[in-house]
A and B are shown apart, each in its own frame.
Chain A
Amino acid sequence: MAATLSRTINQRLRRYNLRLADVPVWLVGLVIAVLWAMPFVWMVSTSLKFPGDVMTTDIEWLPHRLTFENYVRIFNEYPVLRWLFNSIFVAVVGTGLNILFGAMAGYALARLRFPGRDALFFLFLASLMVPTEVTVVPLLFAIIKIGWWNTYQAIICQPLTYVYSVYIFRQFFLTLPRDLEDAAKMDGANHFLIFWRIALPLARAPLIAATVIVFTLNWNNFLWPLLATSSDEMKTLPVGVAAFAPVIGTRTQIEGFALGMAGITVLSAPSLMLFFFLQRYFIQGLSSGAVRG
């Protein structure tokens, strides 16, 4: 009796790729997945509360009264709008240049023949062994010496050197058949035309993957913008919003976490949105080359 019952249930469950014995594991896994995202829920929930409702021992996941006051205040009382602009500007320019230059270098390293080509690629890969954190101190003093400190070019110059884009484009261009460019060469096209009109349009998938990943690295970049800027109005959003941390600014110690949570909700929204919509490319890009900043 029990055996036939479990057989019927198993037949029903097969449609969902499940067996009866798997159901508890399946449910526990889902609960853990939801718990894993809870810090984000708590962040947004806190950002929508009145400051008086935040620093209490009552845990209110859904605030009993809502306010957008925290968002209004961070934009009015802090240069958050300016930081947002700085972050967008720096991330867009830095990513655009890194991807364009990286695609050109990747194309040359994969398709063109010139002395020193393989040595150069080896140098790019070897540089990955030196973490950026090790180079920032000497770079900072070079930047101060040439008078770039606290400028946009100072913030942008360091992420231009991310080798990831070169690597991912080289991998892709190595897989293209030679006949494509041979045919184009017959028609008298030079390498710039072949790159721009033929190779790059074919590289749509690596282009999107590299762009979302390099953009996220730029958007989240912390140590270098922290060092490269001195004045409040040149800060990027992650560096500026860090002032809401109780160990950095005094405001949160006095007023509680409502403002800080509004700040990091604004900061995390673009990268989370980008990830939700382009998840496939994120995961492809990460699995085809282990990424680092």
Chain B
Amino acid sequence: MAASAAVARPRREIERTDWVGYLFVAFFTLPFLIFNIGPILFGAYLSFTKWGIFGKPKWVGLQNFRAAFADEFTIIAFKNTILYGIVIVPCVTVIGLAFALYVHQRWPLSGLARTLFFAPYVVSATVIGLVWVWMLDTQFGLVNHYLGYLGIPEIPWLTSTNWSLIGVSIASIWWDLGLVFVLLLAALQDVPRELSEAAEVDGASRWQRLRMVIIPQLRPVLSLCVTLQVISTLRIFSQVYVMTNGGPASSSSSVIYYIYTTAINQQLFGYASTISMLLFLMILVITLANRLLIRER
């Protein structure tokens, strides 16, 4: 139908250019170029310069990059960020999948469960951070109170170098889970019912159906969720800022948090841009690796 309509249309009209299109896209594109593409290019340039609050950026070549690899705090920040990923990504994916499978059963009140599982995703980092600072308070917090019933002594969640990264991760898992949960829930609805039912007729247990039928069907979405989650943990900042200020002793610091302190507290804009570039390269490699992996399947 559509094809025959296109053939019937005079050739002249098919090739005509809608010049007004440029006006339509201009309103979005101009701010986009100025406030997004511009800063990206400017930042790439700054990463090769030395620039304090006064004067002009001075070209220093690769000196910042060399400094970054020798800077103990950069290394801590990258190490912590990777640790955040190792803690948060598997937890969010597994719990998100479990919640999605539960709601997908459409048992009574599953609509309520869906609302409650997703709700934390829509509130701001300030809410997440503050509520969890209070929940994880060493002396009066709810979490330690109930762990006390299990005989577990008070854990200094946010005030010790051993625990602070775990404390921030708990809040992040609660916050981030909603997106993975709804993406998986939507994907489950697209898994053909007959597949699962046929397996059930053949005597497959619930667990076997999950492993052999449902998870293979979800693989593309699961891989999307993991990628999104990895990138979102690489960008972890606000909850760190609100909950621990990166402390104690940089034990919960992250790359973006370190960029923030370098730029704002020390006013080393060139150096801050260099670390931003390193982070961007990391994200680029992960995104491209994921593309290649998907294409190979």
* Chain A positions within 8 Å of B109 at CB level: 30
Q: Considering the chains assembled together, what is the distance between the CA atoms of A104 and B31 in angstroms?
A: 14
Q: Please report the number of residue pairs spanning A and B whose Cβ atoms sit closer than 8 angstroms.
A: 278
- Within 254-279 of A, Cβ neighbours of B (below 8 Å) are at 257, 260-261, 263-264, 267-268, 271-272, 274-276, 279
Number of interface residues of B (CB under 8 A): 93
Contact residues, A240-293 vs B (CB, 8 A): 241-242, 244-248, 257, 260-261, 263-264, 267-268, 271-272, 274-276, 279, 282-283, 286-287, 290-292
Does residue A56 face the partner (Cβ distance < 8 Å to B)? yes
Contact across chains for B108 and A160 when beta carbons are under 8 A apart: no
Stretch touching chain A among B62-70, B191-199, B209-217, B276-284: B276-284
Q: How many residues does chain A have at the interface if contact means C-beta atoms less than 8 Å apart? A: 102
Q: In the assembled complex, which residues on chain B have CB atoms less than 8 Å from the CB atom of A263?
A: 130
The closest CB in chain B to the CB of A241 belongs to B126
A100 to B32, CA, bound (A): 14
Asked if B59 lies at the interface with its beta carbon under 8 angstroms from chain A, I say no
Complex: how many Å from CA A191 to CA B119?
Answer: 40
| Bound complex: CA A157 to CA B31 (Å) | 7
Chain B residues whose CB sits within 8 angstroms of the CB of A101 once the complex forms:
27-28, 31
* Beta-carbon nearest neighbor of A108 in chain B: B24
Distance between Cα atoms of A263 and B93 in the complex (Å): 31
Whether B32 lies near A161 (C-beta < 8 A) is yes
Q: B91 in the interface, Cβ–Cβ < 8 Å?
A: no
Nearest-Cβ distance from residue B254 to partner chain A, whole angstroms: 10
Knowing A112-B24, A264-B130 are in contact, say whether A142-B124 is a contact too (CB < 8 A): no
Cβ–Cβ contact A139 & B117, under 8 A: no
Please give, as numbers and ranges, the residues of chain A lying within 8 Å of B263 by CB-CB distance: 137, 140
Within 8 A of B (CB), among A1-58: 16-18, 22, 25-26, 29-30, 33-34, 36-40, 42-43, 46, 54-57
Q: Given that A33-B113, A241-B126 are contacting pairs, would A138 and B107 also be in contact in the complex, using a CB cutoff of 8 Å? A: no
Question: Is B152 in contact with chain A by the CB < 8 A criterion?
Answer: no
Give complex CA distance A54, B120 in Å: 23
Residue of chain B at shortest CB distance from A245:
B242
Q: Are B182 and A130 in contact (CB under 8 A)?
A: no
Q: Contacts A59-B145, A102-B28, A283-B182 given; indicate if A16 touches B124 (C-beta within 8 A).
A: no
- A204 sits at the interface (CB 8 A): no
Contact B122 A272 (CB under 8 A): yes
Centre residue among B29, B32, B272, B277 by max chain A CB count within 10 A: B32
A131-B231, A135-B40, A223-B238 as given contacts; A108 in contact with B115, CB under 8 Å = no
Complex partner residue of B126 from A124, A179, A238, CB under 8 angstroms = A238
Closest chain B residue, CB of each to CB of A33 = B113
A202 lies within 8 A of chain B by Cβ: no
The residue from A30, A112, A220 contacting B123, defined by CB atoms under 8 A apart: A220
- A40-B119, A283-B182 as given contacts; A142 in contact with B38, CB under 8 Å: yes
Within 8 A of A (CB), among B91-127: 102, 105-109, 112-113, 115-120, 122-127
A113 CA to B241 CA in the complex, in Å? 46
Q: Which residues of B contact A239 (CB under 8 A)?
A: 126
A141: nearest chain-B partner, CB-CB: B269
Answer whether residue A117 sits at the interface, using C-beta atoms and an 8 A cutoff: yes
Q: Which of B128-178 contact A (CB under 8 A)?
A: 129-135, 137, 139-140, 142, 145, 174
Taking a contact as CB atoms under 8 Å apart, the answer to whether A220 and B224 are in contact is no
Q: Does A78 reach chain B (CB closer than 8 Å)?
A: no
Give Cα distance in the complex from A134 to B29, angstroms.
Answer: 20
| Closest beta carbon of chain B to A4's beta carbon, Å | 23
Beta-carbon nearest neighbor of A242 in chain B: B126
A290 near B279: Cβ-Cβ < 8 Å: no
Tell me if A138 and B46 are in contact (CB < 8 A).
yes
Instruction: Given A134-B280, A161-B36, A283-B118, verify A242-B259 contact (CB < 8 Å).
Output: no
A200 sits at the interface (CB 8 A): no
Determine if A120 is an interface residue (Cβ-Cβ < 8 Å).
Answer: yes
Report the 7 A-B pairs with minimum CB-CB distance, sorted nearest first.
A108-B24, A220-B124, A112-B21, A112-B18, A138-B43, A287-B186, A114-B21
24 contacts between A and B (CB under 8 A): A17-B106, A17-B108, A26-B105, A29-B107, A36-B174, A39-B131, A42-B135, A101-B27, A105-B29, A112-B18, A113-B17, A114-B22, A130-B283, A131-B283, A134-B279, A137-B272, A139-B35, A142-B42, A158-B35, A160-B31, A179-B5, A219-B124, A246-B133, A287-B182
